[in-house]
Amino acid sequence: MDLLNTLLDKGLRRELPTRDEALAVLATSDDELLDVVAAAGKVRRQWFGRRVKLNYLVNLKSGLCPEDCSYCSQRLGSKAEILKYTWLKPDQASEAAAAGLAGGAKRVCLVASGRGPTDRDVDRVSDTIKAIKDQNEGVEVCACLGLLSDGQAERLRDAGADAYNHNLNTSESTYGDITTTHTYADRVDTVQKAHAAGLSACSGLIAGMGESDEDLVDVVYALRALDPDSVPVNFLIPFEGTPLAKEWNLTPQRCLRILAMVRFVCPDVEVRIAGGREVHLRTMQPLALHLANSIFLGDYLTSEGQAGKADLDMIADAGFEVEGTGEVTLPEHRATAHAGCGSHAGGGCGPCGSADREPPRKEPVSEARTDLVSVRRRGAGTDLAPNA
């Protein structure tokens, strides 16, 4: 179809699609789905070959967050029965990270609940980064600690952090419906602080919160403008005890179309399938590897993922290979750019909002698969072995 030929050509040239083209990807039919995956897959292979980067999450501090993000099981007022614990000690965090690295991960993502770190928290995380790097040569470390104050990104960089994650999550026009304790602009500011400090910026979205196609395109275009090196695509896990517990709006086909749209808009960026892939992609996960070049290995922050061995088998069976520690993730034109943070390709586009919105288009979901939502009870913060 002409749309896919156009998008393929633009993706190979790192040229930004039009908003109408991005929306058209989300509107394709199930009969066209394999054609969509094939076209986006060619773009993915152009810039990343058949490599799959493995990332491993370590939840440094779980639960008891003062923010009211509706999607989050750790939010203020959450009744989700998740693990709750205060800061892991550096040696505990390093031990947890070692399990993921032994399983094939090359990046460790250190995450802590909360609005943002205090200076003491930055010191604590800095000690943890040093402990992990001292014991694991070549490991990448990404910190995700919430909103950053001036100077904190620089301190994390000096401690050895390679990247900082802070997701935009949804469009600017709908952000206030999801969170009221901070703003969309606060999130943009933190991504910009990380970028300015020379950290590799990591910022993504959450799909499945009842948003429209326009909202999804808005947030992905806003991400393109921020120029992160990696874009995690999360699919909402509707935890019981959170305001979005009844939002089961995704099908495997919908998830694949979203990933394809992200790949076309961000062709040369590390696109990561993040939380919720097991819940919503289910048996279609291998197809998603043709669109994304990065996944999390094992469990997530408060939910369990599929077995780490199953992740590795899936990658191999689908004809892909795990990216080695010595391999550079990003294409050369991004990896060699200033401070390793990539370069703006093909002209960015600012956040595009529209006052006149169509109602969210929800695809038919046969049944809410609540049986696939499993609260994490192992790994960091417990006495049980992690899943890696």
Active site residues: 65, 69, 72, 109, 142, 202, 272
Side chain identity at residue 111, one-letter code: V
CA distance 311 to 234: 17
Cα dihedral 249, 257, 372, 178 in deg (nearest 10):
-50
Question: What residues contact 149, with CB distance under 8 A and at least 6 apart?
Answer: 116
Query: Which strand (E) or helix (H) includes residue 355?
Result: none
Place of tokens 């005890």: 241
Burial class (CB in 10 A: 0-12, 13-18, 19+), 185: exposed
| DSSP state, residue 88 | P
Place of tokens 């969509």: 36
- Segments in the chain forming alpha helices (H): 2-12, 19-26, 33-48, 90-102, 119-135, 152-158, 175-178, 184-196, 213-226, 252-265, 277-280, 285-288, 308-317, 332-335
CA distance 22 to 133: 40
Strand partners, 271: 231
Cα–Cα nearest to 289, from 93, 49, 3, 65: 49
SS3 234: strand
Question: What residues contact 77, with CB distance under 8 A and at least 6 apart?
Answer: 68
CA distance 119 to 230: 26
SS3 339: helix
CA distance 379 to 358: 43
Cα–Cα nearest to 48, from 303, 295, 368, 381: 295
SS3 45: helix
